[in-house]
Amino acid sequence: MEGPKEIFLKDYKLPDYYFDTVDLSFSLGEEKTIVCAKISVVPRVDGIAAPLVLDGIDLKLISVKINGNELKEGDYDLDARHLILKAPPRGSFILETVTEVLQKNSSFEGLYKSSGNFCTQCEAEGFRKITYFQDRPDIMAKYTCRIEADKLLYPVLLSNGKLIEQGDLEGGKHFAVWEDPFKKPCYLFALVAGQLESRDDTFTTCSGREVALRIWTSPHDLPKSEHAMYSLKAAMKWDEDVFGREYDLDLFNIVVVPDFLGAMENKSLNIFNSKLVLASPETASDADYAAILGVIGHEYFHNWTGNRVTCRDWFQLSLKEGLTVFRDQEFSSDLGSRTVKRIGDVSKLRTYQFSRDAGPMAHPVRPHSYIKVDNFYTSTVYEKGAEIVRMYKTLLGSEGFRKGTDLYFKRHDGQAVTCEDFFAAMRDANNADFANFLLWYSQAGTPIVEVKSSYNVEARTFSLKFSQTVPPTPACLHYCLRVTKGEEEFVFHDLDEKPIPSLLRGYSAPIRLHSDLTENNLFFLLAHDSDGFNRWEAGQILARKLVLTQVVNFQKDDKLVLDPQFVHGIKCILLDSSLDKEFIAKAITLPGEGEIMDMMEVADPDAVHAVRSFIRKQLALELKQEFINKVKENRSSEKYEFDHVNMARRALKNTALGYLATLEDEENSELVLNEYKSATNMTDQFSALAAIAQKPGKAREDALADFYNKWKHDFLVVNKWLSLQSASDIPGNVENVKKLLDHPSFDLTNANKMFSVIGGFRASYVNFHAKDGSGYKFVGDLVLLLDKLNPQMASGVVSSFSRWNRYDDTRQNLAKAQLEMIVSANGVSENVYEIALKSLA
Ligand code: 0A1
Ligand code: ZN
């Protein structure tokens, strides 16, 4: 293998040639697929004398022509990754290539077969597996795409834009021609051919244009696309109302395929993994419904943030992803509960992004370099990127922020731009002073902000003194205090008594805040803060302190105790009928084990797990009757409704049930089992199953077997069943997970199944980090197996090891041994190599 090559942001150069139009023609066959590409090439500077370097991987070149004349071998160089035209004409010209595409492709990149259908994935660098091209996002062109295929096998032929021609051909074949009137980078190109049926609907845009909406699935899944269609229409309306963005074509297609990583925003032809589209009350939980709403929104919103205005290069990935995540978060907030959505998003940020940002895999929102850009689709680019966008809004207010986005679209429609361009639009539209703000893009790590308060009785002043250890970052309070220096003090006058500050309301900057609030202050905020997020936050800080204190007791073999004031605080929240039920469910949930370990000098998964389980059980014992009442009061009605009130009832009932299931008594075991048996929707059924599955034993085995028998025909539900078992904290679970890999429902080549099992397993800290190294070995072996099939998936799994140096010596040595084994393995992919090597650094 040619040694992995690092690419640097500072080396960006404008291309020597642009492409104006691209006419593609696909002849799809079972044995081979032929792609003809006709590209009009325009030099950036007239008369330039430079070679034209085209990317191409796993392609067989059949012919190259320039202005109709076939090139001879000496006119070009061809290697495993490039086709280089040594001396193209000086001036515009037409380039025509004919290539054969590698048909066997399990990488989910380029053109591949998914359950018998053809489909493509071009982001980030998959287009080079389809044809020779300048595969970089600053090459924006207008495309047409002609597809020819067998009519019986592939009755549906789709690509971007408008269908302008179709018809039958000899030999049982047919064809379709699509034309996309908007310029786009090649990563947004898509093609689908197969046996699909559509759910059809329409949306009338704010200017009165009717848009045809189609969701394509295999025929038997069609009934499960109703919620996705609802979500799409809601997203289209929301983008008009909130961002003034109207849809720009007369057709919007979504295609559902079972083998796909996530979802993709190809122009007017979004492609989705089934899990992110298909839902019915019987088979999908509230969390699935909410995820579908968010992801359908996310991909749709990319039409403006990503497609109409795209990225100059892949270092700018957060320009489209951070902004689009922010947009989908706001969309979900507006359609549900803002506070609850914020709590969920912040928990996710702190669990995944903060932990990444504190280890060897930390990188800035705009990385300085990469080997494989695929490895940078991270929580930093996505979620921390969204926090940066949120800060613009906090600083400018809703109106100022909207002025900024309006200017951004006006200036850059049809262009490939950078994070500075977004920044400049925000600044210029508001005449704002954003001192140091760009540091948020270039600096890795989570800033730590220390706050000290003091009250002066005589002067009746209250002062807040902030200091931060990662250079200037803005933070914000109700008064919108912008902390832009290393140290800054704010003094409040004319106060009769010492106030309790509610800091960083709504979590206005992605930082770690260390304040001098006392426990009493926190209990006060937990009871009274008018900012819902900070009310929850106060409870979480108290809970984290509580767990950490008990962890010390556990490590010293001392008795574990639960502070009665904490029990009282939880009880008050539980019984406060003025509160939103979904908020209560969040507020009575203890912080996750990962979050707690993040705060320890040396992470101790066994101690944290034991203490957290102890507290849960103790709360269940002391508040048993209250929890039972919550279960009884919030049972679902027969008909499933995906609305906030009903989701909130289910969330509270199932959280209470989870607590009750920690108890040993007969009465509660019966109650949990009955909830499982009488459930009328997947949310309730699965929550009850998860509650039962917490404890090893016959009840667990029976319930898991019963659930599988009920649902073995539905692979999305079976995936839930797989991940529930692999994520289990029951002792020695690695052996059960190994057995799951041999289960008839498992298939290593299917991304969803793979992630269900591996994603599940690494979520169990006690089992993945088992002191005998069994968890590490299991995952290490799997990485090598998977790397042969799909390097992108495999590198995702390697990142499980990246925080190895947070643990004790024994665990460190065991995890390191796996990383060393991976780095030195023969034929390991660039994707896996980059992550494993960086993790060892
Ligand atoms: N742009 C997509 C993310 C995505 C990237 C690569 C993929 O295939 C390898 C798939 C999806 C998004 O943010 O939704
Ligand atoms: Zn995206």
Rounded Cα–Cα distance for residues 185 and 134 (Å): 10
Q: Strands (DSSP E) along 511-653, which ranges?
A: 512-515
Measured in Å, residue 302 CA sits from the centre of ligand 2 at 7
Q: Which of 377, 382, 383, 755 to mutate to test the pocket of ligand 1 (most atoms within 8 A of CB)?
A: 377
Which of the two residues, 396 and 435, has the higher pLDDT score?
396
Q: Residue 449 pairs with which residues in a beta bridge?
A: 468, 513
AA letter at 11: D
Question: Is the CB of residue 262 below 6 angstroms from any atom belonging to ligand 1?
Answer: yes
**Sign, CA torsion 245/249/250/255:** negative
Each residue's pLDDT tens digit, 252-289: 999 999 888 899 999 999 999 999 999 999 999 999 99
Residue 125 annotated to the active site: no
- Rounded to two decimals, the pTM is 0.92
Q: Which residues in 471-497 are b (16+ Cβ under 10 Å) and which e?
A: ebbbbbbeeebbbbeeebebeeeeeee
Each residue's pLDDT tens digit, 108-153: 899 999 889 999 999 999 999 999 999 999 999 999 999 999 999 9
- Catalytic-labelled residue, pool 109, 123, 148, 299: 299
Please say if the pLDDT value at position 235 is more than 70.
yes
Please say if the pLDDT value at position 480 is more than 70.
no
Please say if the pLDDT value at position 161 is more than 60.
yes
Rounded Cα–Cα distance for residues 145 and 402 (Å): 36
Cβ of 88: how many Cβ atoms within 10 Å?
Answer: 22
pLDDT band at 3 (very low <50, low <70, confident <90, very high): low
Question: Is the CB of residue 299 below 6 angstroms from any atom belonging to ligand 1?
Answer: yes
User: Regarding beta strands 369-370 and 310-311, do their DSSP bridges make them parallel or antiparallel, or are they unpaired?
Assistant: unpaired
Each residue's pLDDT tens digit, 653-693: 999 999 999 999 899 999 999 999 999 999 999 999 999 99
| Backbone φ, ψ for residue 138 (5° rounding) | -85, 5
Predicted ipTM > 0.90: yes
Q: What is the pLDDT of residue 638?
A: 84
The secondary structure of residue 305, as a DSSP letter, is: B
3-state DSSP call for residue 92? coil
Each residue's pLDDT tens digit, 786-819: 999 889 889 999 999 989 999 999 999 999 999 9
Nearest atom, ligand 1, residue 123 CA: 6
Q: What is the pLDDT of residue 481?
A: 66
Return the residue whose CA atom lies nearest to atom 6 of ligand 1.
123
Please say if the pLDDT value at position 471 is more than 50.
no
Question: Is the CB of residue 790 below 6 angstroms from any atom belonging to ligand 1?
Answer: no
Q: What proportion of the chain, given as a percentage, has pLDDT over 70?
A: 98
Q: Which residues contact 777 (CB under 8 A, 6 or more apart)?
A: 814, 818
Each residue's pLDDT tens digit, 486-500: 889 999 888 888 889
The secondary structure of residue 222, as a DSSP letter, is: G
3-state DSSP call for residue 262? coil
Measured in Å, residue 670 CA sits from the centre of ligand 2 at 44
| Three-state secondary structure string covering 512-549 | EEEECCCHHHHHHHHHHCCCHHHHHHHHHHHHHHHHHH
Measured in Å, residue 816 CA sits from the centre of ligand 1 at 30
Q: What is the pLDDT of residue 432?
A: 95
The bound ligand whose nearest atom lies closest to the alpha carbon of 121 is 1
